[in-house]
Structure 1
Amino acid sequence: MGKLIRSAIVMLLLMTVITGVAYPLVVTGVAQVLFPSQANGSLIDREGKPIGSTLIGQSFDDPKYFWGRPSATSPQPNNALSSSGSNLGPTNPALTDAVKQRIEALRAVDPGNTAAVPVDLVTASASGLDPEISPAAAAYQVSRVARLRGMSESQVRSMVIMATTGRQFGMLGEARVNVLKLNLALDGR
């Protein structure tokens, strides 16, 4: 019996070292060499300081910025530690009320815009952290951003086009616009 226990303990220690230390170190080292930006969180730096990640949504509520998808995380929006959807179904009155409030907020900052509000501007993603919006959601906001920044709509529209990423491999997913990158490009102009 003692031999079996000793063998089990040795195997536990060996597997702990292999799977808990060696493997993570090798994978981290390979990732740092081959994909350094992604391995470090796809951070965006400005003047040597990280200001956000291209992978996690940022909250913008100033009307001169493009707004991203609403976040369902708590206690604050875009909280990566509590990534989750709202779990509100389509017949839930709380979801209906939240969507109505978001539409009212969009209409309040741009009362002249009578276009239909794209769904991704009023509903949270499954993770609650989506950093991107559809090109339609960006196009909906072009006139407001252009007016408040003193730019022409064509200038802002061309910046949206430059910030648009197509489908992966030309067939996977949908075209998308990273809100943080677009807003930083506008600020840098």
Structure 2
Amino acid sequence: MNSPDFSLEALALAGGASRVAGVDEVGRGPLAGPVTAAAVILDPARIPAGLNDSKKLSAKRRIALAAEIRTVAQVSVAHASVEEIDEHNILRASHIAMERAVAALVPAPDYLLIDGNLIPRGLTLTSEAVVKGDGRSVSIAAASIVAKIERDAIMMDLAQQFPGYGWETNAGYPSKSHKEALQNLGVTPHHRRSFKPVHNILYQE
């Protein structure tokens, strides 16, 4: 599998764009915590070496890259809350987080590369949906790394407040120990009530 590169960004720049942002989210699958999105505009002359899909990197490498990305690129991060996930649905909430991340970028981008096959409806900028984008575009890969680091930090903090669910290691994903803790300790305010394992505990017959 090839590593992500700058070719999609270069095409957009050649077509008249001046600031191309990669956009990605993390946290659709967990039973607890927010969904987090990041938007990143890389400087073509200062692209960090080793950018890749955050899931393919070690935690240590992600942390180092996230710090470097923040030093050499324009970065913004945004979230959609558990309440918003339950009110809308996880797909729409992840799009809301993406829209917020793009809106907070300074200077504003004029072209977006968005991970996935859908463009959030609130985005009015010229946008391109890129399937498996974190493996194709360095800008999207950078966004995936920053979003994961930010969300993991939130879950580590919540793990201190609500011990026993293993959020410091599972980040809210439905691991065996997390699901057992749900049964034994109950549902916290940070659990997504619209997600089936949580819903079933709340509304057991």
Same fold (TM over 0.5): no
TM-score (norm 1): 0.24
Structure with greater proportional strand content: 2
Structure with greater proportional helix content: 1
TM-score (norm 2): 0.22
**Greater relative CO (CA pairs within 8 A, separation 6+):** 2
